[in-house]
Structure 1
Amino acid sequence: MTSNSIQPFDFKGTPVRAFEDVKGNRLFCAKDVAEALGYTNTNKAIGDHVRGVTNRYPITDSLGREQQAVFIGEGDLYRLIASSKLPSAQEFESWIFDTVVPSIRKHGGYMAGQEHMTPEQMALASMRWLNSKVEEQARQLEAQKSQVLFAKAVEVSRTNILVGDLAKILKSNGVDIGSTRLFAWMRDRGYLMKSGMAKNMPTQRSMDLGLFHVKETTIVHADGHTTINKTPKVTGKGQTYFINKFLTGSQEVAA
């Protein structure tokens, strides 16, 4: 069950979400119903009058966030309607059971104003709705495709890699970033040291998280003295960690 399966309809400007589950049960969003019936405290109304089994399904709120909402069956819908003191409660009841429920049974959903549409208008509106869903699914598939590419990139790379190589993996999967910008991004967010002799070396926090390994290379110079060159490399765990950061958009890319 996904939020895409839930169909919204409108009662005098108040949206009410409903659907028919795989068992044929017609379920309604309890909070939407309570608001449509004029309850000032919707949570109290649901707690006082809902007696049957409640189900939770994901819905998208006005800010685009996914929330778990309580859905109720027809028995509890009757209880909420019967307990409402507003004159519009009877109108709401008639509209639900004379218009919305038959539409859900026949079409699997309800379109606002469909009772005033001709069969041709209904067919056209249905096609538009279906096209919007196809486009939405295409966008979701494209996003999933990117996720698969990211996952495969990490799966293939079982060795420590340079920060520049991580930037190439990100760029090849649609992230507009290069080596210099990725170094800056890591410094700005405390993964790498910002200045001094240790600039671009992993911070203690990064090392504690296991995101980096420092490769030390001994260099023998012409006069016989030796120096140690240190190169930060991103571990397998680090690759997964940073790719997920960009994949989920939980961090902004440095300009």
Structure 2
Amino acid sequence: MSALEVFRFDEVPVRVVDNSGEPWFIAADVCAALGLANVAQALAGLDEDEKGSISIADGTPGNPTRATVNEPGLYSLVIRSRRPEARAFKRWVTHEVLPSIRRTGTYAVAETPEQLVARALIQAQDIVARRDQQIAVLTPRAEAWDELASAEGDYSVADAAKILARSGIETGPQRLFEQLAALAWTFRASDGKWRAYAQHVSAGYLAERPQSHHHPRTGELIIDPPQVRITLRGVERLRVRLGVLRAVEAS
């Protein structure tokens, strides 16, 4: 096992050790970066092959043993984080830290954008090939993630269901309506039409688009119930929430 390398994510130190050619992260550092206050509780939700421990002499008094997580374990912890920085942390690890470690053994100067894209695609293909079904659910395929990350605006429930399905979430238009209701994001009004709860509109997860039509005989303008739309932020939040729910149901 090689010496620790210390990287920094938004001033939070993240220690990584090379164990037989594979990077293992100090669990407490990862949890600190992701806002997971209870390290033991976070690690309890991981599979046994996703966590371990090492003994390090870092000058800290007390027990030198430190809990660690490997790459799949780190992704599982990312999914559990509620902090908006979790997505940036995952991108920092996969696009900067891991490529640099595997190339030079240290965290060096960042590669060019073209090199990062090429290396990220190779790593994504390798991850999809090697990780078990649970990790495949928790970590979306690179192409679906990139499509989601670069999109703008909001989506109909049907279009949002397609994006979520491509990122590994089992859903469809009708099922997504039911999942939104189960999460208390939407409800059926007295007219039987779906409406968005105000707090989730205020949070930026949902939107309502006004709708209307003209009466075919009189030409009178008729105001229809608004269409529930899911924002980009809402799609990302659903990807995390529904992915965690599926993992819990499967365990």
> Which is greater in Rg?
1
Q: TM-score range by the shorter chain?
A: 0.3 to 0.5
